[in-house]
């Protein structure tokens, strides 16, 4: 019997090709060197499908002959990374790594590039544009061996199709407001066009209050305040939420909470073009929403394990509890 060899997945994002993310100008090719300028805002985002667990990355930034290394900070899923930078000819190599705690099993990793030095340069064929640095490529490699080829593939495909058919939930478009209350940070997410089950929902409002990295309170319901679910994250990291009499409804709420990081990412792409954001604040809430989503996924797994009817019943409308 032949044993499948161990492998380490390596992902390379060449910036001449289409990118998933925001905060980048159109690609440019000069001779054999290609890149995209970051901008017009200070924060640029790349999303890549990489495995969870420890890993390392290298960003190749194109430099002019006497240009200094750019002041660029890199975040992975809201966590700042330590960077080792050096110059090799006309390229700056920014290398960073992370441990297993920095990457959860999310569909995509978010790399944020925060540039403190912006300038205005002529755009090819039209006016001026605000730019930061020229990224040629980003290479990412797992630090641990990957699973044998094909392992878990069937279960993953079947699971995704089951959830889409039986527990349909979409967060819609988010509008965000950030506030503080003493030492606590508050985030309000108004969700327009959300769906829970078979029917669209009225505008929903999710209020999150975080006093620290490990403490979070949650309130979720229609924006008109007719009824709300209250809860949060327990000290051990589990999701605690107002009980719902219908297991189907509880599973739908878990699905919606697990999708909030996606709504947050879409808001980042739309809202931060040309902005000078508070990266620490945005990173805090990125980490907080990821923790909430992970707890919601764990709660959903419990619902699926304990309620056989979730597999048999078709997706149906969600009913909010009476106020």
Q: What is the pLDDT of residue 7?
A: 53
Final residue belonging to a domain, choices 114, 142, 170:
142
Residue pLDDT, tens place only, 143-202: 765 555 555 666 667 777 777 777 888 999 999 999 999 889 999 999 999 998 878 899
Which of 142, 169, 204 terminates a domain? The answer is 142
Position 86 scores a pLDDT of: 94
Same domain, 196 and 113: no
Q: What is the pLDDT of residues 256-288, one digit of tens each?
A: 999 999 999 999 998 887 777 899 999 999 999
Tell me, what's the pLDDT at 151?
58
> Sign of dihedral through CA atoms 246, 252, 255, 260?
negative
Contact 220, 212 (CB under 8 A): no
Q: Are residues 304 and 174 in the same domain?
A: yes
- The rounded distance, in Å, linking the Cα atoms of 314 and 305 is 17
| Domain contains 148 | no
Average pLDDT over residues 236-265: 88
At which of 142, 173, 190 does a domain end? 142
pLDDT in tens, 115-152: 988 999 988 777 899 999 999 999 999 876 555 555 56
By percentage, how much of the chain surpasses pLDDT 90? 53
DSSP state of 100: G
Say if residue 1's pLDDT is above 50.
no
| Beta-carbon contacts of residue 290 (< 8 Å; ≥ 6 apart) | 77, 78, 104, 106, 261
Domain at 41, CATH number: 2.60.120.260
Full residue range of the structural domain in which residue 306 is found: 153-312
| Structural domain includes residue 33 | yes
Whether residue 157 is found in the same domain as residue 24? no
In a domain, 71, yes or no: yes
Look at the chain and report how many structural domains it folds into: 2
Burial class (CB in 10 A: 0-12, 13-18, 19+), 176: middle
Judge whether 317 lies within some domain.
Answer: no
Q: Is residue 321 part of a domain?
A: no
Q: How far is CA 280 from CA 43, 312, 316, in A?
A: 12, 45, 40
């Amino acid at each position: 019997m032949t044993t499948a060899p161990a492998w380490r997945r390596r992902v390379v994002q060449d910036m001449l090709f289409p990118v998933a993310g925001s905060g980048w100008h159109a690609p440019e090719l000069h001779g054999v060197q290609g890149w995209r300028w970051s901008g017009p805002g200070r924060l640029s985002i790349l999303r890549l499908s990489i495995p969870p667990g420890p890993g390392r990355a290298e960003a190749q930034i194109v430099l002019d002959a006497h240009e200094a290394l750019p002041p660029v900070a890199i975040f992975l899923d809201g966590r700042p990374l330590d960077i080792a930078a050096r110059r090799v000819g006309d390229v700056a190599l920014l290398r960073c790594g992370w441990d297993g705690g920095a990457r959860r099993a999310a569909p995509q990793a978010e790399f944020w590039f925060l540039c403190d030095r912006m300038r205005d340069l002529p755009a090819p064929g039209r006016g001026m544009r605000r730019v930061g640095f020229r990224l040629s490529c980003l290479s990412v490699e797992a630090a641990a061996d990957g699973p044998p080829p094909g392992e878990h593939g069937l279960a993953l495909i079947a699971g995704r199709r089951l959830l889409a058919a039986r527990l349909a939930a979409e967060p819609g478009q988010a509008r965000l407001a950030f506030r503080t209350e003493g030492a606590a940070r508050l985030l309000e997410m108004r969700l327009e066009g959300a769906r829970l089950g078979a029917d669209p929902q009225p505008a929903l409002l999710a209020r999150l209050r975080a006093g620290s990295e490990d403490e979070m309170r949650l309130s979720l319901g229609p924006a008109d305040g007719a009824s709300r679910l209250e809860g949060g994250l327990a000290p051990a990291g589990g999701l605690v939420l107002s009980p719902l009499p219908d297991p189907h409804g509880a599973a739908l709420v878990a699905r919606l909470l697990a999708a909030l990081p996606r709504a947050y990412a879409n808001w980042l792409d739309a809202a931060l073009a040309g902005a000078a954001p508070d990266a620490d604040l945005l990173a805090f809430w990125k980490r907080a929403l990821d923790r909430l989503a992970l707890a919601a996924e764990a709660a959903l797994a419990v619902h699926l394990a304990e309620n056989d009817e979730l597999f048999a019943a078709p997706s149906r409308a969600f009913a909010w509890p009476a106020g």
